[in-house]
Amino acid sequence: MSWVDVGPESALPVRGARVLKIGSLEIAVFRTGTGEVFALRDRCPHRGGPLSQGIVHGRRVTCPLHEWVIDLGSGCATGADEGSTPTYGVRIVDGRVEIDLPASAEARVAALGPPAFAACHRA
């Protein structure tokens, strides 16, 4: 895994998300109301809904399809629901968001060039 710069922190809406597309992999990058930044696969563990289009509240996001609540830190469903979506390490360096990508995504970045935020969704 290696850290890849994906864009400025200021491009992330508060209580919202942006999506990174690396080949067929879509990663949702979230920013909470307190400014914490998280990254998870943009796919709800229930039925594959786009988490980036969900409502961010605290350190959680609610899937827009069936209202599953996912913890942004762990990627795990909360409450009575079970399942999880992969998470990715995130750090901020000099105002830029960096994500720790798996080797398979690293190869795609090498072939396609660095990813950048593709879409913006605000709660």
What does the pLDDT look like over 73-100, one tens digit per residue? 999 999 888 889 999 999 999 999 999 9
* Sequential pLDDT tens for the chain (123 residues): 688 888 999 999 999 999 988 878 899 999 999 999 999 999 998 888 999 999 999 999 999 888 899 999 999 999 888 889 999 999 999 999 999 987 666 555 554 555 555 544 434
CA distance 31 to 11: 10
Beta strands across the sheet bearing 16-22 = 87-88, 37-41, 25-31, 16-22, 119-122
pLDDT for res 122: 37
CA distance 61 to 53: 9
pTM (2 decimals)? Answer: 0.84
Nearest in space to 49 (alpha carbons), one of 64, 35, 39, 36: 64
